[in-house]
Structure 1
Amino acid sequence: MPSSSSNNRAKIQLISKAALIRLGVFLSILIVICVWVWFTLFWMPGKSYSGQLKPLSQQEISLRNLLQEDLKNLADEIGERNANNYKRLNAAVDFLKTGFSQAGYEVKEQEYKINGKSYYNIAAEKIGIKKPNEIIVVGGHYDSVFGSPGANDNGTGAAATLELARMFAQQKTNRTIRFVEFTNEEPPFFWTEDMGSLVFAKQLKAQNENVVAMLSLETMGYFSDRVDSQKYPFPIGLFYPNQGSFIAFVGNLKSGDLVRKAIASFRRNAEFPSEGAVLPSGVPGVGWSDHWSFWQQGYPAIMVTDTAPYRYVYYHKEEDTSDKIDFDKLTRVVSGLAKVISNLAE
């Protein structure tokens, strides 16, 4: 008959074996979760460009000059443009409408009212040849936050939208592209029913429009090679550079495929650093622009950005002026985005 000590040793061995099995199962689950997180949230196709930037081509120099002219018109001449500066906001409307018209577009205005005043989303449409009912929306908001001329936020996005529309004016694409300048993205309208892009996206949904991709161009013109110039909400920074020298492609989980398609195209066609992330929409900053409005209507949408407050020290300040913008690098980004849009439109 076995002794009690032998029984105890056997029990200990069984308990140890069970503990090892549980530990093995736990570690296996943890590994699966880590792999899923990496490939779902952080892995991006292609490789971010590194090394010396080549001189701008003659075509890019022309684009740079146009972007600079647009931005100076919006930020320097018109200046702060929002509900508190209603005349200047409408001056921006006139400027952007004229730009679309001169490029050959029939400009469409979406008017809506807040407290008896009219506000306008402005759209220029390039009808697709083979798939006209499949729509790509490219847009940026043209209003600025109270107390700021809004050169980077979001004169860069508004100017980029205008110049991209000009670039596609004579091109043929299979899918339809709508270039939209949104109003009232900034507080007090941010994430409310009066946010211009939400008004626009709701109308698209009500009309059963098939939006296959939306690109929100938001705060795109500030870059720094300084170590620790780039910040992130914890723990995102564990996976990305600490120098703010790249352009970012950001989407929520449902827009993951669009993020990867866009950044893959950008990396194939643009010699400029890029990073991408697919993150839960609740992570601070992930939904802080007009793409959020399209998420609310179930459309795939991403933000293209220099990461705004996580890099730009003049974010939402009076000092957000055109002299802070790196126009050469903004030009490289916009040139790359033209290729991205062309690929998506096919």
Structure 2
Amino acid sequence: MLKILIRFLFIFIVYQGSASAQSDTSLIKTYLKTLTKTPQFRNHTNIDQLNLTADYIKTIFEKSSDSVSAQEYHVDQKIYKNIICSFGTENKKRIIVGAHYDVCGDQEGADDNASGIVGLMELSRLLKGKKLNYRIDLVAYTLEEPPYFRTEFMGSYIHAKSLKESKAEVFGMISLEMIAYFKDEAKSQSYPLGILSVKYGNKGNYITLVKKFGSGEFVNQFSKNFKASKSILTKTFASPPSLPGIDFSDHLNYWKFDYDAMMITDTSFYRNKNYHQKTDTMETLDIPKMSKVIDGVYNGLISFNP
């Protein structure tokens, strides 16, 4: 009986370990290096570099899905591209998971937002061959950063608008916006309102699920599933869209078209002082914790029950 019990415990531990350790940190490092250590910075003025980045993302996506496409559009006589990778295309209604690959100015943009793009890349690998009863679209956006932020030239605006115009059925959208910077030191986390530190603490050691008041069924269920995976310390933040920072990413455009949407973030400049600086490099990132965020997203997606 004791031997049977020991064997059962061993199998349980192995199973639990494999379930919680899905992402490949070696691949994550390779992806980050390729995205950030480039001849030119991937900002809107370096169109050739943006196109090379888009092509690289497309190549990675094509390893996992036979449904990969480029959504092209024109701005100032230049062609910019969203890259879309789909799974479960036999299903009608879909989930969108998106991140932007452009940067603000002359910087590598490791956390902002190569980390989110790498999240999409790893999700594509993890979703390969999975049987789904809903569709998942992974979308790599261009032109999220200034001078195009909050304009109709944002790649996410173009994509959200196309969904609305085609009358696509959408459960909801998840924006991966800076998911790799963590600090365990006291006072490493700040907030738009100082009083929030009483509830959320002053250590930047968690990932945040950001949603607005009145979020729909998809956002609420996904958030519950993400937290239930216990892959990483997670805190949920809900507020009016007017609070500074809550709409500082691509999910804002899905809100504009009345889709249920949320953001997953390390809280950006409220924690990472390298935000929009030349110091935003992959050497500053916490790869193991970043991998756990990706695991949480994956588990939240495959646990979704329409």
Structure-1-length-normalised TM-score: 0.80
Is the partner of 1:105 in helix, strand or coil? Answer: coil
Kindly indicate whether residue 50 of structure 2 is the aligned counterpart of residue 86 of structure 1.
no
Q: In the alignment, residue 100 of structure 1 is paired with which amino acid?
A: F
The whole-number CA distance in structure 2 between the counterparts of 1:169 and 1:57 is: 17
Q: Which residue among 113, 118, 122 is the counterpart of 1:154?
A: 113
Kindly indicate whether residue 167 of structure 2 is the aligned counterpart of residue 208 of structure 1.
yes
Q: In the alignment, residue 298 of structure 2 is paired with which amino acid?
A: A
Q: Which residue among 203, 220, 227 is the counterpart of 2:186?
A: 227
Is the partner of 2:107 in helix, strand or coil? Answer: coil
Q: What is the match of residue 264 of structure 2?
A: 304
Q: What is the match of residue 196 of structure 1?
A: 155
Structure 1 residue 254: Cα displacement = 3.4
Is the partner of 2:24 in helix, strand or coil? Answer: helix
Q: In the alignment, residue 229 of structure 1 is paired with which amino acid?
A: S
Q: In the alignment, residue 252 of structure 1 is paired with which amino acid?
A: K
Residues 62 and 257 of structure 1, relative CA distance in 2, 3 Å threshold: closer
Kindly indicate whether residue 237 of structure 2 is the aligned counterpart of residue 266 of structure 1.
no
The answer to whether the Cα contact below 8 Å between 2:20 and 2:231 also exists between their aligned partners in 1 is no
Q: Which residue among 280, 285, 293 is the counterpart of 1:333?
A: 293
Structure 1 residue 133: Cα displacement = 1.8
Fraction of identical pairs, as percent? 35
Q: In the alignment, residue 291 of structure 2 is paired with which amino acid?
A: T
Structure 1 residue 146: Cα displacement = 0.7
Structure 1 residue 127: Cα displacement = 2.1
Choose 268-277 or 254-263, whichever is displaced more: 254-263
Aligned-residue CA RMSD in angstroms? 1.9
The whole-number CA distance in structure 2 between the counterparts of 1:147 and 1:345 is: 42
The whole-number CA distance in structure 2 between the counterparts of 1:93 and 1:128 is: 22
Q: What is the match of residue 217 of structure 1?
A: 176
Q: What does the per-residue CA deviation read over 1:215-252, in whole Å, with 9 as the maximum and x for residues that have no partner? A: 10000000001111111111433321110000000011
Q: In the alignment, residue 152 of structure 2 is paired with which amino acid?
A: E
The whole-number CA distance in structure 2 between the counterparts of 1:105 and 1:322 is: 30
Q: What is the match of residue 48 of structure 1?
A: none
The whole-number CA distance in structure 1 between the counterparts of 2:304 and 2:89 is: 12
Q: What is the match of residue 66 of structure 2?
A: 105
Kindly indicate whether residue 284 of structure 2 is the aligned counterpart of residue 324 of structure 1.
yes
Q: What is the match of residue 13 of structure 2?
A: none
Q: What is the match of residue 49 of structure 1?
A: none
The answer to whether the Cα contact below 8 Å between 1:258 and 1:302 also exists between their aligned partners in 2 is no
Q: What is the match of residue 242 of structure 1?
A: 202
The whole-number CA distance in structure 2 between the counterparts of 1:311 and 1:84 is: 28
Q: What is the match of residue 21 of structure 1?
A: none
Q: What is the match of residue 241 of structure 2?
A: 281
The answer to whether the Cα contact below 8 Å between 1:80 and 1:145 also exists between their aligned partners in 2 is no
The whole-number CA distance in structure 2 between the counterparts of 1:305 and 1:163 is: 17
**Structure 2 stretches of 5 or more lacking a match?**
1-16
Q: Which residue among 33, 37, 61 is the counterpart of 1:76?
A: 37
Q: In the alignment, residue 42 of structure 2 is paired with which amino acid?
A: R
Choose 208-217 or 258-267, whichever is displaced more: 258-267
The answer to whether the Cα contact below 8 Å between 1:246 and 1:273 also exists between their aligned partners in 2 is yes
Is the partner of 1:83 in helix, strand or coil? Answer: coil
Q: What is the match of residue 254 of structure 1?
A: 214
Residues 296 and 78 of structure 1, relative CA distance in 2, 3 Å threshold: farther
The answer to whether the Cα contact below 8 Å between 2:69 and 2:84 also exists between their aligned partners in 1 is yes
- The structure with the largest helix share of the pair is 1
**Structure 1 stretches of 5 or more lacking a match?**
1-55
The number of residue pairs the alignment matches comes to: 290
The whole-number CA distance in structure 2 between the counterparts of 1:252 and 1:340 is: 19
Structure 1 residue 266: Cα displacement = 1.8
Structure 1 residue 59: Cα displacement = 8.5
Is the partner of 1:103 in helix, strand or coil? Answer: coil
Is the partner of 1:275 in helix, strand or coil? Answer: strand
The whole-number CA distance in structure 1 between the counterparts of 2:221 and 2:199 is: 20
Residues 91 and 144 of structure 1, relative CA distance in 2, 3 Å threshold: same
Q: What is the match of residue 185 of structure 1?
A: 144
Structure 1 residue 345: Cα displacement = 5.9
Q: What does the per-residue CA deviation read over 1:4-37, in whole Å, with 9 as the maximum and x for residues that have no partner? A: xxxxxxxxxxxxxxxxxxxxxxxxxxxxxxxxxx
